[in-house]
Structures are given as structure tokens and as C-alpha cells.
Amino acid sequence: MSSALLFTSPPPPTPSINRSTLSFAAVTNFPPSPDKLGLLLDKSSSIRHLLQIHAALLRHGLHQHPILNFKLQRSYSSRGRLDYSLALFNRTLNPNIFFYTSIINAHALHGLSQEALFIYTQMLFEGVQPNEFTFSSILKSCSLEHGKMLHSQVIKLGFDSDLYVKTGLVDVYARGGDVGSARLVFERMPEKSLVSLTTMLTCYAKHGELKEARLLFDGMVKKDVVCWNVMIDGYTQHGMPKEALVLFRRMLAAKARPNEITILTVLSACGQLGALESGRWLHSYMQNNDIQVSVRVATALIDMYSKCGSLEDARLVFDRIYYKDVVAWNSMIIGYALHGFSQDALELFHEMCRIGLRPTDITFIGVLGACGHAGLVKEGWSFFNAMREEYEIEPKIEHYGCMVNLLGRAGQLEEAYELVKNMKVEPDPILWGALLGACRLHGNLELGEKIAEYLVSHNLANSGTYILLSNMYAAKGDWEEVARIRTLMKDSGVQKEPGCSSIEVHNRVHEFLAGNLKHPKTKEIYEMLEAMNGWLKAHGYTPQTEIVLHDIGDEQKEQSLEVHSEKLALAYGLISTQPGTPIKIVKNLRVCSDCHAVTKLISKITGRKIVMRDRNRFHHFVNGSCSCGDYW
């Protein structure tokens, strides 16, 4: 892959600026012209120039000139010196509505909503009447509570029909999560601008009301790149990456040019799906269309390639970033950890520290995850303690989760349980689930029952809680308890998440559930399954029927194992791709031990590299072995 136009290179030298028209002499010629000073303010390019002009205004008694004073205030705030702008405003005699609106808008744009409200209150106290631009400005950053108060004033003063004010109100309700009120204000607008449409679209997409969002989106006559981004991101953020990719292709067909936000969102969707071909195509699209790859985009590429199973591409991207920030290092460390290449992850961490970059809490999630995948208990404790003692980073629940996973998988269940009981933050169901999973892995039914009872009594139990406990009883052959747990699960309205495996072939993602019969090539897939069974038996494979936790016969258990979603995806990969090419599969749950054993053997029989991403990590199957070393 060519490195041309790929990654952030050294910045070009700063061009020299012709300062002749903005020199101090230019603003101190006597007598100064207000028009000339106003022109200089419009053209000023730095705070130094503004200070020179400000000095000239003071020297020649023009500091209270309404137009020049107003322009100077606005120029200070637009260049990030809100303190200068506010100081100037406070020295302005009898500021009118335009001065008030400008300073309120400046504070709102900087996210200083409380300060903006204080100035607004001061304005009302001084008897200055707000106008539609005042409301449009102050609504930009105010809270839902204050927005409701302002809404009543909007109605009282007769600005409730103004397009910009109503758009601001929609935004306030949307940001506050009051979708119903946002919809009500939006629907009562007599006309709707592209901005108001986009605001409501963002509201729907952000809060997961994707059907309403799509109806609104499809009905929009004019769509800019922001609209496309909002809808694509809505699908990506709410677990619908396939729909996000389909919409992105439609965006390209509509000749809408994607920007950096589009690229970041689509790369995230590719990563969720494990759609490597689509991700590579997007990478090529950026190169062919001269889209600059910033550090932010390069980091997203690393994340995408890692999640899609190609660490080689991820490392290639990483090495080509000229100025690597800590986020880029974190992404590569987490990529190595995700694939079980723990030593590579730890070496990269030490290299990052050697060059002087300070690790963040995200860095330690990657490092502790790497220790967990390799069973490095001593090293894990060392990193965990160093967070607080050496780097002054207080461990978050994610770091405790990594430690519980590390200790639990290593069989140190009591130590993991003590850590959970004594942690400073409140443990969540995910953390308890990790410990419960370790109990199931090591057959510690007593501790598992204690944890499950706690979760159920505190209304923290989810489907995983019931399934793990049920599986523990089934492993012991206690079918009465299995039936009791499943009845309890049904009565609680909790549903088991079905296992699903996907595989990307020719830029299209194919999904399979266990026993799936709906795929167009079902006949060919099941014929391949029969062939695979023959290969496996010839190599001495015996189905692991003990993992089928149902009270049924051995023959039925074998049949159940044969149609697991991973095996269906693998069979489809074998019939749909060229011999010798790698096969990449994504599983939404943890891969079962039988499918793991089968995939190892198939990789040896076919001479294929098979990469499988399950809920916990990546497995690289090559010539009968797995990168996890059967520790996962």
C-alpha cells in the first residue's frame, strides 16, 4: 500500500505575513480615521494587532465609539480572548441590545452557559429588551431547566414564531433528552430550515429513535454532509453498522463528498462488523480522493484494522504516523492486547514511556487486558498498583474489571472476589458477570451461587447471570436447578442473546444464527458441513458433547454442535473464497470449546489461516494451533 497522501507529515513552514497594513504606525497616524480603524479591525489576524488597535482607540478617545467598540469586543472573543472582550464590555457605557447579544453569544459559544445567563439577567435588570438574536444565542448552551424558563419568555415576548429561536428550542430539548418536547416544538414550526431539520434529526438519532430519524432523513429535499453524518452515526452508535455502511454507499452515489466525521463514523461501523474489505476500500477511497489523513483518522484506521483482524495493516498505519499522540499509542496497544499478542502490547507500552509520553487510564485498560489474555498475574498487579502510585491515575471500574478477569481466568477466584468487595467504586453487573464467568470456568458453584443470589436480590441480574448459573448447574448434572433457573429467567422477562456469527465476502456481510436455514446458499453450506464432519472424523476428532448443557441424548448433542453459527460461517467461507486465502469470522458471544477445537483442526486440514473474533478477543488459527494457546 502506497504511503503517499496517507498520514500526517511534518507541517509546512508558516507563511510569512505582510504586516505593513497592520503595523502600529498604521493605527497611530494622526488624526486616525474611524473607517480605517474599522477596516483594520476586520483584517486583524492576531491578538497583538488587536491590542495595537485598542491602544490607538484609547489614545485618540475613540474607545467608546459604538461601532469600533463593538467590533473590537467581537474580535477579541473570536480569537479566544473572551476575558478581554468581557473586560471591554464591562467598561462600555450603556451597552445596547447588540452589545449584550454579542457578549452572550460569545459565552454560549465557549460553553459558559451560567455566565451567559448571568449577563442575560443583568441585561433584563438594566431594562434592555431581548430580541430574537439574543434568544438564539443564549439557547445554544443552556440546560434543559433554564431552556424551559427561556421558552416561557420567548412566548411572552412574542418570539415563538421566529425560525431561529424555535430551532434553538428544539436543540435545547434535544440536548436535554426531552424528545417529546423537541418533537412538539419542531412540528409546530410553520417552516423548517435545513438547520432545524438537522437539529431534529440529530435528536432522533442521538436518542436511538432511528425509525423516526430515517423517515425525517428520507423526506429531506436537501441534504448536506452534516445530515448524512448524523444518520450514519445514529446507526453506528446504536448497533446497526450494516445499515450505516449501506447508507454511506448511498451517500457516495448521491455525489455527497464525505468529510473527516463521515470517515471516522464509517471506520467505526467497519470495526463493529469486522468488515475488513469495506475498511480497506474506504482507506483506498481516501487515498484516491486526496482526503487528508489526520492523526485522528489514522488512529481510527488502526482501531478498524485491529477489530477487523489485520494487525499487520494496523501496525503499518501506526508506523506511518509522523506525530503520534498518546491516543494513537493506546489504539495500537489495545489492538495487540485484543489479539492476544501480550508481549508486543507491553513492549509498545514501555517504548511509549521511554519517549516521554505519559500513559492515560485508557493505556492501562490495554495493558491490563494484555496481561489478562496471557495470565500474567504478577505483571498485572504491578501495572494496577503503578496506576495510582506512579502515575496518579485512580483506577476506574474498567480497570477493576480487567483485574477480575485476569485473576478469575488464572483461577484466583477468592482474590478476585475480595478485590470486588473492597473496590472504591460500585461494581456493575458487567464486573460481577466476569467473576461469575470465572466461577463457571473453574466449576466453583458455591461462589457462583453467592454472586448470582446477590445480583438477583439487587435487581442487577441480566441474561448472562441466569445463563452462567444455569450452565454451572447443567455441568454438574443438576437438571432440576437448571429448570428452576430457566423458569426464573422467563418469569423475569429476561431473554437470552442468541449466538450470531458473521463473515464478509466480496464486500457483503453474511450473518448466521445456529441452525440457520435462510441463507440463499443453505444447501451448499450444509453440504460443506457434511464434508467438514468427514474430514474431522478422519483426523480423530470427537465432538465435545459435554458442553451441550441440555438434558438430551448424545446423538442430539452432536447434531446441536454441528450447526453452531461459527461452523455455518466457516462452511460458507470455505465455499465462497479461494483456497489458501484467510477466513475471518466475527462471533457476538464467546466461542465455545468445541467450535474452537474444530476450527483449529480445519485450519490444519485446509491449510487456511482462520481468524475469529469473539466477545473477548481474537483467535488466529494456523496449522492446527491457536494464538490464544487455549487460554481464553
**pLDDT band at residue 561, thresholds of 50, 70 and 90?**
confident
| Average pLDDT value for residue range 341-351 | 95
Beta strands 583-587 and 610-613 are parallel
- Strands 618-622 and 583-587, by their bridges, are unpaired
Q: What is the mean pLDDT of residues 511-525?
A: 90
Question: Could you tell me if 387 and 356 are in contact, meaning their C-beta atoms sit under 8 angstroms apart?
Answer: no
CA dihedral (74, 76, 81, 86) positive or negative:
negative
Give the separation between CA 178 and CA 167, rounded to whole angstroms.
14
Give per-residue pLDDT as tens, 562-613.
Answer: 888 999 999 999 999 999 999 999 998 888 888 999 999 999 999 999 999 9
Domain positions in the chain are 500-626
The set of residues, in sequence order, having a beta carbon less than 8 Å from that of 274 and lying 6+ positions away, is 307, 308, 309, 502, 504, 584, 585, 586, 613
Q: Lowest-confidence range among 295-309, 321-335, 445-459, 616-630? A: 445-459
The answer on pLDDT for 556 being more than 70 is: no
* Separation of CA 391 from chain center: 25
Collapsing DSSP to helix, strand or coil, 512 comes out as strand
What integer is the mean pLDDT of 374-387?
94
- The answer to whether the beta carbons of residues 82 and 47 sit under 8 Å apart is no
Least confident of 19-33, 213-227, 399-413: 19-33
Residue 297 clears pLDDT 80, i.e. is over it: yes
Confidence at residue 1, expressed as pLDDT on a 0 to 100 scale: 43
* Mean pLDDT value across residues 299-326: 94
Residue predicted with more confidence, 556 or 44: 44
Contact between residue 243 and residue 228 where contact means Cβ atoms under 8 Å apart: no
Among 155-159, 201-205, 236-240, which stretch is predicted with the lowest mean pLDDT? 155-159
Does the pLDDT value for residue 2 go beyond 60? no
More confident residue, 488 or 573: 573
211 or 61, higher pLDDT: 211
Mean pLDDT score of the chain: 86
For the ranges 101-105, 397-401, 493-497, which has the lowest average pLDDT?
493-497
The string of pLDDT tens digits covering residues 244-278 is: 999 999 999 999 999 999 999 999 999 999 999 99
The predicted structure's pLDDT at residue 15: 38
pLDDT of residue 4: 37
pTM above 0.85, yes or no: no
Residue with cell 431547566: 145
What are the distances in angstroms from CA 77 to CA 43, 72, 84, 128, 145? 15, 9, 8, 22, 27
Q: Is the pLDDT of residue 541 over 60?
A: yes
> Helix, strand, or coil here: 619?
strand
Strands 618-622 and 610-613: antiparallel
Q: Are 366 and 337 in contact (CB under 8 A)?
A: yes
**Per-residue pLDDT at 451 exceeds 60:** yes
| Torsion over CA: 424, 428, 431, 437 (sign) | positive
**Torsion-angle region of residue 261: left (phi > 0), alpha (psi -120 to 50) or beta?**
alpha
pLDDT of residue 397: 92
- 579 alpha-carbon distance from chain centroid: 36
Phi, psi of 594, rounded to the nearest 5 degrees: -70, -45
Binned at pLDDT 50, 70 and 90, residue 557 comes out as low
Predicted local distance difference test score (pLDDT) of residue 16? 39
Of 18-27, 28-37, 200-209, give the range with the top mean pLDDT: 200-209
- The C-alpha atoms of residue 226 and residue 232 are separated, in whole angstroms, by 10
pLDDT (average), residues 510-526? 91
* Residue 434 confidence class, pLDDT cut points 50, 70, 90: confident
Residue with cell 474489505: 277
